[in-house]
Amino acid sequence: MTFGIIANTTLERIWKVLPEFLQWLASKGTSIVVCEDLRQGLKPMAVEFLPPDEVAAVSDMVLSFGGDGTLLATAKKVGKFQTPILGVNLGGLGYLAEISVDSLYPRLEELLSGAYRVEDRMVLSCKIEGADPEYFALNDIVIDKGAYSRVVRLHMTIGGRYLNTYTGDGVIVATPTGSTAYSLSAGGPIVEPALQALIVNPISPHTLADRPIVIGDDKIIEAVIEGRNRALNLVVDGQVERTLELGDRVVIRRAGHVVKLVLFPDKYFYDVLREKIKWGAIPLA
């Protein structure tokens, strides 16, 4: 098996973890390719360094070392190659990362013995009508007012039919995977990540009647920028940000590819959810 290594180079801990781990992994008879931005910190090691897209192309599995942001960036780099990704959490909350760095070696032993599964996660495609490029999101697409003080007005349709004109700070369109990210903070529902659906969640709406909704993954969502704001933000997975102008039409739909995440049989979504959100942490009197 060939493992690709992608990591958050800004985390000091990575330079303590990776050298020893790469030696251990090589001792198991595996092949290793490493993203070229790690070259400087791993100079003495006899490993192959490649650009991120080439790492994904030649690997059977990519290990992403960092937090959820690193995994989202890794998903963007892996893209069309559909290489399974295992997230190793070196950061904070870590919903997406499947294992912690403290359990790295025993979990990799399990993986090498075949005790894992791969789950497909839906991806969003986002385009601004009449413009390039196309953006992809594993978590969410956000249209918001950024630093501007005025409210946002978004005329939204679903499947070509008028839904609502949202007035507030913006709108989040999230995947089930992204339901525990920004959408959750904005009062959205928690959705099982393997489900096929989209969440439309207004941010700080100016009427209590505007509530989050969950729609089928076959629907196309269109949002047209209205109101007085001359420039809004389009943010894709917190990784890409660009400016939207008055009258821009943003088209969001399910992408033609998925992201494949490596999971372990004993990790149950609701157990992880309870642990991260601290459900049941306060015992009854």
CA 26 from centroid of its chain's CA atoms: 29
Q: Kindly give the residue spans of alpha helices, DSSP state H, lying in 8-151.
A: 14-27, 52-58, 68-78, 104-112
Active site residue 68: yes
Q: Using DSSP, state whether 162 is helix, strand or coil.
A: strand
Supply φ then ψ for residue 76, to 5 degrees.
Answer: -65, -40
Spot the catalytic one: 37, 53, 60, 68.
Answer: 68
How far apart, in whole angstroms, are the C-alpha atoms of residue 80 and residue 77?
9
What type of residue sits at position 79?
A: G
Q: Under a CB-based contact definition with an 8 Å cutoff, are residues 78 and 232 in contact? A: no
Q: Say if CB 128 and CB 252 are below 8 A apart.
A: no
The two three-digit tokens of residue 222, written as one number:
């269109």
What tokens does 237 get?
A: 């997975």
E strand segments, the chain: 2-7, 31-35, 48-50, 61-66, 85-89, 99-100, 117-128, 135-137, 140-144, 152-158, 161-168, 170-174, 197-203, 213-216, 221-226, 231-236, 240-245, 249-263
d(CA 234, CA 240): 8
Strands 85-89 and 61-66: parallel
Q: Catalytic residue positions?
A: 68
